[in-house]
Structure 1
Amino acid sequence: MNGTRDGPSGASPPTRNSPLNRAAVLTAALELIDQSGVDRLSMRRLGEALGRDPMALYRHATNKAAVLDGVAEMVLGQLTVDTCDPDWRHQLRLIARDFRRIAVDHPNVVPLLVTHPLATPLGLRPIGTLRPLEHILSLLTKADFTGADALHIYRALFGFLYGHVLTEMQEIVEQPGESTDLLRLGLYRLPIGEFPLLRGLASELAAYDGGEELERGLDVLLTGLTTAVPPSPRESP
């Protein structure tokens, strides 16, 4: 089993007189990102948060990009993959729930987990961000999928998860104090002649529950994968 499902880990940032190390730098960076977002992070602000001269940080991270890569590795280190689980569907569901939990706990980190890696060639990504892929491939090949089919399943799962967390993080109510769901969501702005179905779903849209949507999507995805990509039959000894 790899990782932990017990929640975020990491020590508190050091005081001015305590030793400075990479873990402390990344923990402080994650706290700043959680508070203000990726764009507001700078080596200067990170140095201020740690009570250190920013130049001292470069011994532990060469630049801001290296800090962001480290934060992504640290956060994804919370993602558990039990490569020995005999029920691959159950394990993928647990992985999906873990990934959503990470996104909900650290919404400002989602771009580092979803969109940033897509702009980086696979072999140039931080090693820690590739471990979930390797572990999921291990899980699936142990379940008698070919390597190619295991990769297809991984891509289908994380394509769904990326879309789900981006959608959930963007669910915004325009006017929470309004009396109807149509007004709360701002759907009254849409011409009724062009968007009758969307306007008619105002109550369903307002009742969006990320956890429930995840489970429904996984039901559809895992059922489809079971049919479309069956494991290879074991050869008789």
Structure 2
Amino acid sequence: MSMPDDAPDTTRRPLTRDSILSAALELVDTEGLDALTMRALGARLGVEAMSIYHHLPSKQAVIDGIVDLVWAEVTLTGETRDWRKAVRRTARSAFTTLLRHPWANRIRATSGGPARMAYIDASLGHLRRAGFTPEQAFHAHHVLEAYIQGYVIQALDFAPTDATAEREQRDAAIAYLEQVGHTHLIEHVSLHAADQGSGFDFGLMLLLDGLDGRLERPESQ
């Protein structure tokens, strides 16, 4: 007896490392990292939790795997003479990627996966080809990493969860600031609503300007 065309497809897809990690990433993106358990992941895949261990030995291995999936989404710029443009594009891609997966910004994998290592190597490569010494590239990379990850935290903290409530709170804050005469802070609060990532680009430009200056004079100065 044939099944009707609109019948749900109950055929279970083969369980593989990739299918497990894809389901785990979807689970964590929608429900948060705390929701990731082997039992919950098994239920999402339609298998017993023990089946997962044939492909990934532990929950930490799953976390390491999905962290690397996140870093695989970062667009890596190829070799170019314009190191500033290359670093800027890679940094902005990392920033927007971590905004899509904010949980990944707050954890560290126990070991660097292939995508994470490729990202770091590309970042260091842009700096070394620009003329930075290995030590300068080491520090510059970590400064850029700290800036990207720190700005992700700030952007998420300021992201409105309720646009109406956010506007009402801002209007109330501005009204109070007008009473006490903090004119500069009024300007600052007003601009928060208009900042859609331009602050990240501005800060990144300042960092690149500073790094560029290090190429123009000896390290000892």
TM surpasses 0.5: yes
Whether 1:67 and 2:62 are equivalent positions in the alignment is yes
> Conserved in 1, the CA contact under 8 Å of 2:87 and 2:126?
no
Report the TM-score, using the length of structure 2 for normalisation.
Answer: 0.80
1:111 matched residue in structure 2:
103
1:40-80: per-residue Cα shift (whole Å, max 9, x none)?
11111110111111100011222221111100111101223
- Structure 1 residue 24 displacement after superposition: 0.7
CA contact (8 A) 1:173 1:185 kept: no
CA-to-partner distance for each residue in 1:185-208, whole Å, 9 max, x for gaps?
764798876977545522112222
- Higher Rg: 2
Report the residue type matching 1:36 in the other structure: E
Structure having the higher helix fraction is: 2
Taking the aligned partners of 1:42 and 1:195, their CA distance within structure 2 comes to 49
Q: Confirm or deny: 8 A CA contact 2:88 2:204 kept in the other structure.
A: yes
Matches within 5 A, 1:134-153: 134-153=121-140
Q: Match for residue 127 of structure 1?
A: 113
After superposition, the Cα gap between the structure-2 partners of 1:201 and 1:58, relative to the gap in structure 1 and judged at 3 Å, is: same
Is 1:208 the counterpart of 2:195 in the alignment?
yes
In structure 1, C-alpha distance between the alignment counterparts of 2:53 and 2:176, rounded to whole Å: 51
Q: Please say if residues 77 and 89 of structure 2, whose CA atoms lie closer than 8 Å, have aligned partners that are also in contact.
A: no
Question: Hey, which bits of structure 1, 4+ residues long, moved more than 4 A?
Answer: 188-197, 229-232
Contact 1:182 1:203 in 2 (8 A): no
From 24, 27, 41, give the equivalent of 1:29: 24
The 8 Å contact of residues 146 and 231 in structure 1, kept in 2 or not, is answered as no
Q: Which protein has greater RCO, CA pairs closer than 8 Å, 6+ apart?
A: 1
Query: What is the rounded CA distance, in whole Å, between the counterparts of 1:188 and 1:37 in structure 2?
Result: 34
Cα distance in 2, alignment partners of residues 55 and 168 from structure 1: 39
1:164 aligns with 2:151: yes
The SS at the match of 1:225 is helix
Tell me the amino acid that sits aligned with residue 221 of structure 1. L
Q: Is 1:41 aligned to residue 32 of structure 2?
A: no
After TM superposition, give the deviation of residue 83 of structure 1 in Å. Answer: 4.5
CA drift at 1:160: 1.0
Equivalent residue for 2:72?
77
Q: Distance in 2 between matches of 1:159 and 1:72?
A: 17
Using a 3 Å threshold, how does the CA distance of structure 1 residues 30 and 230 change in structure 2: closer, same or farther? farther
C-alpha spacing 1:103/1:36, structure 2 compared with 1 (3 Å): same
Whether 2:218 is the aligned partner of 1:223: answer no
| SS, match of residue 170 in structure 1 | helix
Aligned residues: 208
Question: How do residues 172-183 of structure 1 correspond to structure 2 at under 5 angstroms?
Answer: 172-173=159-160, 176-177=163-164, 181=167, 183=169
Give the unaligned 5+ runs of structure 2. 1-9
SS of corresponding position for 1:125: coil
User: How far is the alpha carbon of 1:224 from its aligned partner?
Assistant: 1.1
**Distance in 1, Cα, partners of 2:70 & 2:168:** 37
